[in-house]
Structure 1
């Protein structure tokens, strides 16, 4: 074991969670305007297992090129261990961020490099598991709502998949932004949890079609997508907006021409931003937004974390513990 190496989880072939292997690899070196972060915790996100499977649910011509071996992960929380030329960070500062996304984050490791602008100072009120759970899911909800959708105060919003990583944060941001009514859609076991987060109404999708009980909403924020996504469209009034977070079959031509709906997702992609994360951190530190962490796995058990993630029905986020 040498001082310029580290433990990391890599994959040398695409496939099931078992391709994730913990091994010694060279420690990265920060470049100009970058910090080397000693990672204490790493977030587990859908793009991590999509990449592990070589994005097999996306048409081949649209898949981003991936070079092996690959260290997954883009959500990190830790302390600055070293800085590159011109970096504004100082050694020892607590930081977190969605790093190098879209791109190669390499967060499932003891050390990771990140451009200065991708990192935010981790507030003292937040621990590292929370710091690792927040960036991708939080920035997805925050950027989508504040920079793309900009919903008017007083609207009725439906959040599908409201207990998940993006969903439970979007629900709280809608409440904080002045939504008149936020309706949470999830399975029945999440009812109390979502009411605690501020949902005005809860709908158990396992009990029957959501559209049987919800109508005339202004906004549908759908964090689930999938082949049956179009079944939720009747919850919207004519002129309502659909905000898909993931790919889904919404029968768009029918939805726009016959139902009069608009879609707010074209050319949108969450991006790394320490500035946006700092604004989001302030809401979390103030208690306005709560970050739910379902479970914390050791770095060596990254495969187990992926197996749990792919089962779905998560409440909040999964995190990898890397170091104390």
Structure 2
């Protein structure tokens, strides 16, 4: 219909490189007249591109849609992908769904993957490196960190800063509500608390595991109070758990910060709305997710599998009423 060769029509539709203005206008008129759109399946056979990127979250559905961490991550990843006209595909994977997830990725239904909230048992870094699929992790992976790109914050330093704040405030019995022991962020934050406690010469056995949920934080804080009623400081490994910890302290008749000073971790909006407002460690999850997305797009554009680039953001203390 345009009166040009197939090659010229293809070049005009795909950006107009090396096509004269009259030819491009003729092709554009034919596209409008025919209502033509490229067939994405046929195009992907030629380009080996799907124009889609997976966000892999190995967590239960209910946690993904209730935790502000994932909301900020999704928004930030999509902010980088949108100008590139790339589709974001959300892949939720419980532990028993891992093989289905890997089968999907193995078939190259996406051009690459960003992985968040991974666990010791999933070994996703090793699996994706073996598949030679471009990927980037938000958070240091347990395995394969010498084979894949990842972006993280210095969790150990952040938790140490939180603990040192309570020590400087005069707290002498400081507990820690930790995250799941199978996640690197939780382990690093516990290490930071323990290091600062040891340096101050304080009791170092007041740690209880939570699960990065509000209910888990409440349960862990209540257990610590039962073990040690004289607790006067609490470092909590996430703001969501800190909300639960504040509820446990209120139920026990402990005033914050007069009786117990509390510091959380994340600063994703929730900390400003607690009563009292929560002192916390700011984790720049938006910047981290955007950086991981850019690392992934570089791999996709260069048509190469992941390389072990590491970007670590510094944490920052945000002081509010709870400490």
Higher strand share: 1
**TM-score if structure 1 supplies the norm length?**
0.36
Larger Rg: 2
**TM-score if structure 2 supplies the norm length?**
0.36
